[in-house]
Amino acid sequence: MAAADDIALIRKQEEVLVFPAFDEAVAFKIGAAIRARAIAENLPIVVDIRLWDRPLFYAATPGSNASNPDWARRKINVVKRFLRSTYRMVLEQQRPDRAFKIGEGLDISEYVLAGGGFPVTVKGAGVIGVIAVSGLPEREDHGVVVDALCDHLGVDKRSLALASEAE
């Protein structure tokens, strides 16, 4: 599948995966579901869910490492700055060095082009936070978040799933 097709589908994900409300209980439910899947499938990840002003959920699973929280933090910064998923940014920017263009003025130690950060959007309020997963290849990090949001919001995963890179 071409990058343009993936970008269009990710935009659709961002439009469809909108919460009627989002609070600590919702964050915990989604975070716990992602963690449970990670344990069941032996996925070495960290999960970081937060509003702009505070963290709501954090978990690390076996096999994750010390760099995963930093990657998640930098993904969170990208979502906060651009209000869109980090994997969409990767595909739009096409930067193999994972850095934003010099003219953006974004420090690599604070911002990274890597999939796995997804905006928490609430109907009538807009983007209020982020769900970040780090530890897998970026397309898979993104997919883990999208799957969890589809499950929580009752959306058919197949209608929003990116094709595997092997397809």
Q: What value does the mean pLDDT take over residues 25-43?
A: 98
Looking only at the bridges linking them, the beta strands covering 18-19 and 126-134 are unpaired
Largest CA distance in the chain: 43
Which pLDDT score, from 0 to 100, does residue 95 have?
86
Q: What value does the mean pLDDT take over residues 26-54?
A: 98
Which pLDDT score, from 0 to 100, does residue 155 have?
97
Which pLDDT score, from 0 to 100, does residue 164 have?
80
* Opening angle at CA 94, ends 91 and 98, nearest 5: 100
Q: Which residues contact 117 (CB under 8 A, 6 or more apart)?
A: 72, 75, 76, 78, 79, 85, 86, 87, 130, 131, 132
Q: What is d(CA 76, CA 112) in angstroms, rounded to the nearest whole number?
A: 9
Residue 60 tokens, joined: 């690390």
Q: What is d(CA 47, CA 57) in angstroms, rounded to the nearest whole number?
A: 7
Which pLDDT score, from 0 to 100, does residue 123 have?
98
Which pLDDT score, from 0 to 100, does residue 97 have?
87
Structural domains of the chain ordered from first start: 3-155 (3.30.450.150)
Tens digits of residue pLDDT in 150-162: 999 999 999 999 9
Question: To the nearest whole number, what is the mean pLDDT of the chain?
Answer: 95
Confidence bin at 166 (pLDDT 50/70/90): low
User: By percentage, how much of the chain surpasses pLDDT 90?
Assistant: 88
Q: What value does the mean pLDDT take over residues 135-140?
A: 97
Give the residue among 152, 138, 27 at the shortest CA–CA distance from 88. 138
Which pLDDT score, from 0 to 100, does residue 12 have?
97
* CA 147 to centroid of chain Cα atoms: 11
Tens digits of residue pLDDT in 89-130: 999 998 888 888 888 899 999 999 999 999 999 999 999 999
Q: What value does the mean pLDDT take over residues 35-41?
A: 98
Contact 62, 113 (CB under 8 A): no
CA atoms within 13 A on the CB side of 137: 4
Contact 112, 71 (CB under 8 A): yes
